[in-house]
Structure 1
Amino acid sequence: MDGELWDLTDASGVPTGATFRRGDPDFPKALFHIVASVCVLRGDGLVLMTRRAAAKDWPLCWEFPAGSALAGESSAEGAVRELEEEAGVRVGVDELEFVGRVVEREALFDLYFARVSGDPVLQLDPEEVCESAWVPFSEALRRCDVGDMAGPWVLRLEQLGERLRELVGRSPE
């Protein structure tokens, strides 16, 4: 959302002490903000995908719930907040497993993995999400391959998809 305040970090994710307001012009060169996402796995082996609202960039494209960490938030805290805001799914920071990081032009994208029990009741934020689906992980990859996912996800899944596949396929401890 325009007006959000983000911490600026160096290339390794260390905060610089400076902030940037979303929507302002001239994002500083060689600095980044944190974007975080959670791939949520239900007990039946399906993962949660959300479809971006028509008014957002990459309209009507699929993704895993994601968004920018706000000033003062850790990457994991931002991931947990975004998942709850966009889909109504609550997990704790301690329930996240870090999948990996992708360095993008202005963002450090962190992907997390979390398991949930049962069939969580979703509460979609209509300003962010217009639809959701619980799908096999292979369907998420197919949607990426055929261009149904938001563009940034192509590189993200090229780099992190194999590790995510391992986590999705691993038996719960």
Structure 2
Amino acid sequence: MSASTLVVDADQEHPRPADRKVVDVAVGILIDASGAYLLTRRPHGKVYAGYWEFPGGKLEAGETVEQALRRELQEEIGVTIGAAELWRQSLVDYPHALVRLHFCKVRDWTGDLQMREGQEFGWERLPVRCAPVLPGTVPVLEWLASDGVGPA
């Protein structure tokens, strides 16, 4: 892990083993023409159910971040993305997993949104109206604000 990697400790009260394997996750920040971005709410039955996040999912063996993002967004929300700009990454230490999030900005996609896992969605601007927000999503909102994406 480099010194420039942001590490978010999602819950300092629960100790974790020091030798946990990192799970890589591709995350899509879909930004529409007006500067609003898509957040989805984790469905019942998942860890952190009810929390809001950017859509995405785990990389499978041999996949690049962009390949995983394309697959996950098609599976989860029914859209086919165009170009995906690998933007930033962070390491989030959740009690259930140590997750390296690869955030990609996506401004081009086709298809209508279909919440295939029963999740809710919303197009947001800063400051976001939805709560609670997943701990790994909080720094991204700060980065978007510093980049001037989706100001209120």
User: Identity of aligned pairs, percent?
Assistant: 27
- Which AA in structure 2 matches 1:84? Q
**TM-score with structure 2 setting the length:** 0.72
Query: How far 1:41 moved relative to its partner?
Result: 0.9
TM-score between the two structures when normalised by the length of structure 1: 0.64
Distance 1:54 1:90, change over 3 A: same
When residues 104 and 130 of structure 1 are mapped into structure 2, their CA distance, relative to the original with a 3 A threshold, is: closer
Please say if 1:101 is aligned against 2:89. yes
Give the partner amino acid of 1:151: P
CA shift in 2, pair 1:47/1:69, >3 Å: same
Q: Which amino acid aligns with 1:98?
A: L
1:29 Cα shift?
1.7
1:20-169 alignment, distance < 5 Å: 29=19, 31-92=21-82, 95-105=83-93, 106-116=98-108, 120-126=111-117, 129-136=118-125, 138-140=126-128, 143=130, 147-154=131-138, 156-157=139-140, 161-162=142-143, 166=147, 168=149
Task: State whether residues 26 and 68 of structure 2, in contact with CA within 8 Å, keep that contact through their aligned partners in structure 1.
Answer: yes
Measured in 2, the distance between the counterparts of 1:168 and 1:74 equals: 26
Higher helix share: 1
Gaps of 5+ in 2: 3-16
Unpaired segments of 5 or more residues in structure 1? 1-10, 13-26
Structure 1 distance, partners of 2:72, 2:100, is 16
Give the drift of 1:50.
0.8
Alignment CA distance shift 1:31-1:55 (3 Å): closer
Change (3 A) 1:42 1:81: same
CA RMSD of aligned residues (A): 2.8
- Within 1, Cα distance between the matches of 2:122 and 2:91? 28
Q: Across the two proteins, how many residue pairs are aligned to each other?
A: 133
**CA distance in 2 between partners of 1:124 and 1:62 (Å):** 14
- Mapped partners of 2:80, 2:51: distance in 1: 23
* 2:112 counterpart letter in structure 1: V
CA contact (8 A) 1:89 1:122 kept: yes
